């Protein structure tokens, strides 16, 4: 693939390292950045033939096959509309929009233009997530009841993140978009999110947006997604998931404590990992950040999907659903109430009722619990269907 990269900063460089390194046949041929110095530096570092501070010039080149957006949130819509104008396949960093209205306009535009669209939600492409999701889909955890995702760190790396007008929000939008799509994937992307309860506050940073938030997302089948996000966490980048079902549980630590620990005095200081706060003492390096953060698998899916003329796992539609959930979270944080998720476009299943929690044991009883005690006895806890009385029965 010949790629136009829009943006030359932190995430653009992460993308470039993966794009030109993993498949070894994809090439960035055009780069746009708002600052000429940054554009030239990126072009030099990645051997890009064409560099410009004009966005449309970077997109509308005959050699460009796909446009990768790694720009501030307020520029996503402009970039997407130019891709539609020039009929270029487009993939964009998260979140899709600053709100669901923006996201919906972009979704409708790319579908009307008939162009390939991919949502670059890297954390649903991490090796651990892919393996965990496979286990969930194969039924290892039974019926999924609750999925939780946490992303916390000391704060973003660029000035625009801290400007509520450019970013559209604080840590809910920046980090919650990851967490919502992670938990939504475990619960089932065809299951409709119906309402959100969220607490958010500005606890540490001198900004207008929130720097810490916790939210619950209720789904139509009774499952619950939970997100914990913060720009106030000290100690690096903490990425953790938990999934609980009727038959099992999964715990994932993606980044902060991954089995690689190192102590150094700091005399030979070096880069440790994204958002690391120190280069001395006990450190927790990451073996292969591009892979562990999902970039390699994500771009593989995007480009293979383009080549095979099929939809990728993550599309603009997914970005729109995430934005709609986060809109409800922001509203709930203000009203202190459960707020509905407003989805003008819903393409999943509908008409679900909450799954029954009643497990049949025999004609007269439901099963509450089955266990083997520390003294070797096997017993069951039962509930009488008619009287509601709870009893225990020793089996052996």
- Class level of CATH domain 124-289+316-340: alpha beta
| 353 pLDDT above the threshold of 80 | no
DSSP state of 141: T
Token pair listed for 263: 């102590």
Q: Mean pLDDT, the chain, as a whole number?
A: 94
Q: Which pLDDT score, from 0 to 100, does residue 289 have?
A: 86
Peptide bond into 95 cis (omega under 30): yes
Can you tell me which residue has the tokens 């292969």? 288
Torsion of CA 16, 18, 23, 29, to 10 degrees: 0
Higher local confidence (pLDDT), 103 or 261: 103
Of 146, 162, 166, residue with least CA distance to 78:
166
Count of other CB atoms within 10 angstroms of residue 180: 30
DSSP for 350-363, written as a single string = ----PPP---B-SS
- % of the chain beyond a pLDDT of 70: 98
| Pairing of the two strands 378-384 and 365-372 | antiparallel
Residue-wise pLDDT for 197-225, tens only, equals 999 999 999 999 999 999 999 999 999 99
Hey, do 2-121 and 124-289+316-340 end up sharing a CATH topology, with the first three levels equal? no
Please state the CATH superfamily assignment of the domain spanning residues 2-121 in this structure: NAD(P)-binding Rossmann-like Domain (3.40.50.720)
HSE-up of residue 178 (Cα within 13 Å, Cβ side) = 23
CA 235 from centre of chain: 21
Query: How does DSSP classify residue 200?
Result: E
**Model pTM score:** 0.91
Q: For position 255, what pLDDT does the model report?
A: 85
Domain ranges of the chain: 2-121, 124-289+316-340, 365-394
Q: Please enumerate, as own/partner, the contacts of 361-364 that have beta carbons within 8 Å and a separation of 24 or more.
A: none
pLDDT at 268: 65
Per the CB < 8 A criterion, the answer to whether 228 and 179 are in contact is yes
| Contact present, 90 and 66 (Cβ < 8 Å) | yes
Which one has a higher pLDDT value, 364 or 258? Answer: 364
Helices (H) and strands (E) in the chain, counts: 11, 18
Q: How confident is the model at residue 269 (pLDDT cuts 50, 70, 90)?
A: low
């Amino acid at each position: 693939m010949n790629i136009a990269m829009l943006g030359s900063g932190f995430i653009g460089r992460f993308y470039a390292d993966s794009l030109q390194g993993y498949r070894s046949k994809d090439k960035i041929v055009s780069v746009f950045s708002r600052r000429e110095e940054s554009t030239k530096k990126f072009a030099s570092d990645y051997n890009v033939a064409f560099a410009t501070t004009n966005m449309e010039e970077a997109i509308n080149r005959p050699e460009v096959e796909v446009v990768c957006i790694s720009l501030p949130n307020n520029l996503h819509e402009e970039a997407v509309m130019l891709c539609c104008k020039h009929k270029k396949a487009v993939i964009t960093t998260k979140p899709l929009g600053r709100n669901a209205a923006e996201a919906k306009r972009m979704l409708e535009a790319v579908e009307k233009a008939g162009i390939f669209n991919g949502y670059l939600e890297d954390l649903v492409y991490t090796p651990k997530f892919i393996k965990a999701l496979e286990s969930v889909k194969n039924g290892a955890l039974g019926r999924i009841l609750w999925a939780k995702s946490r992303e916390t760190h000391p704060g973003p790396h660029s000035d625009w993140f801290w400007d509520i007008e450019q970013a559209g929000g604080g840590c809910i939008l920046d980090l919650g978009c990851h967490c919502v799509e992670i938990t939504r994937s475990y619960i089932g992307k065809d299951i409709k999110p119906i309402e959100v309860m969220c607490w958010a506050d500005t606890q540490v940073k001198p900004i207008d947006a929130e720097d810490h938030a916790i939210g619950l997302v209720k789904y139509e089948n009774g499952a619950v997604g939970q997100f914990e996000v913060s720009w106030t966490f000290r100690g690096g980048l903490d990425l953790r998931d938990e999934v609980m079902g009727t038959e099992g549980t999964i715990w994932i630590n993606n980044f902060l404590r991954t089995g690689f620990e190192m102590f150094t005095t700091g005399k030979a200081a070096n880069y440790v990992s994204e958002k690391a706060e120190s280069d001395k003492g006990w450190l927790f390096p990451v073996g292969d950040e591009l892979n562990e953060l999902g970039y390699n698998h994500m771009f593989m899916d995007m480009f293979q999907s383009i080549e095979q003329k099929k939809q990728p796992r993550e599309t603009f539609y997914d970005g729109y659903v995430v934005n709609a959930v986060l809109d409800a979270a922001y509203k709930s944080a203000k009203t202190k109430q459960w707020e509905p998720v407003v989805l003008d476009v819903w393409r999943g299943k509908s008409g679900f009722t909450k799954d029954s929690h009643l497990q049949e044991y025999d004609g007269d009883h439901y099963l509450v619990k089955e266990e083997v005690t520390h003294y070797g006895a096997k017993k069951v806890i039962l509930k009488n269907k008619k009287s509601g009385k709870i009893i225990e029965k020793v089996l052996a």
